[in-house]
A = this chain, B = another copy of it.
């Protein structure tokens, strides 16, 4: 699908390799975060870095999210290129002031005299009772801020390439990782490469319905697309958005001009999600191509409950996407192949742990 490379890495391994190669290439790159050099090494994404690059470049960090974000900004202004890590994106709420008031605006406020080349990795939790304070998908909150870039790669290939692009970028880039993608593997070249920020990518081609999806929802959409195509002969055009700011609306428009139908699938709470923003932009620009109102698929508008019995039906999945696509096409559940498809889509493992049935490659 992309660079020919037979090597398979998981998303987590790809992240680790990207950090390793970026640190090797550029001695200004440092990595800091709570637990970075500890035995669990941020879900193994920082394993070995401290041993290799030393404690002066690979840091643990006090529990001071706002202060350390500020310190990273100050270091970035002074020629360092920090990669900061939050094990849960929810902790970054403590750092909103520094991210929004300083990181996003410094370059602008000071007329371009200085810039803030830093990456903030933020991991979105899910499953096993993460609960209300440990599983929010806050991308829209950051993506509304001019001056920030926000990426959410889905594949291991993109995780590596976008991490490298993010580290090389002279702006603050928020790098949001969905925890349930960490184990998914893909072809990942072993060399140093970039995947540009701001470009979506088609994961599955089809001419019936456009599914523009973010992060883990792109993974779910791909599963839906494969089954729909196989069992029902329906073609989903699955666009992995990859970047949340700037949004690659152009790619979605191109697809919508072909299909006339749009689903946007996001990992966040429905209201105020970036899905709404994307739908709005598409409608503003391709109104006349739409055969039906666009559909948004997202989490319901309440905090994530901990109990597995409540969380079970909390997250939309491939079936939700497939059903929405059928709806958009005016088809019913009586349609040919629907039962077969649903039988394939049904989750076999526990609903609150990552799906191991499909674990790549893309």
Select the stretch in A2-10, A161-169, A227-235, A269-277 that faces chain B: A269-277
Interface size class of A (residues with CB under 8 A): 35 or more
Quick check: B295 and A271 within 8 Å, CB to CB?
no
13 A–B contacts, CB within 8 A, in A order: A90-B101, A94-B96, A105-B133, A108-B303, A143-B272, A144-B268, A144-B271, A146-B303, A276-B281, A277-B280, A279-B279, A280-B280, A283-B294
Select the stretch in A14-22, A23-31, A251-259, A284-292 that faces chain B: A284-292
Least CB distance from A279 to B in Å reads 4
Copies of the protein in its oligomer = 2
Q: Which residues of B contact A96 (CB under 8 A)?
A: 93-94, 96-97
**CB-CB contacts of A92-134 with B at 8 A, as 1s and 0s?**
0110110011001100110000000000000000000001110
Quick check: A144 and B273 within 8 Å, CB to CB?
yes
Q: Which residues of B contact A334 (CB under 8 A)?
A: none
Q: Which residues of B contact A140 (CB under 8 A)?
A: 140, 144, 272
Given B109, B145, B276, B284, which contacts A293 in the complex, CB threshold below 8 Å?
B284
> A247: nearest residue on chain B (CB-CB)?
B271
A295 to B146, CA, bound (A): 20
Known contacts: A109-B303, A280-B277, A292-B287. The answer to whether A97 contacts B97 by CB under 8 A is: no
Q: Which residues of B contact A144 (CB under 8 A)?
A: 140-141, 268-269, 271-273
Quick check: B283 and A272 within 8 Å, CB to CB?
no
Residue A309 lies at the interface, judged by CB distance under 8 Å to chain B: no
Known contacts: A100-B93, A269-B144. The answer to whether A284 contacts B277 by CB under 8 A is: no
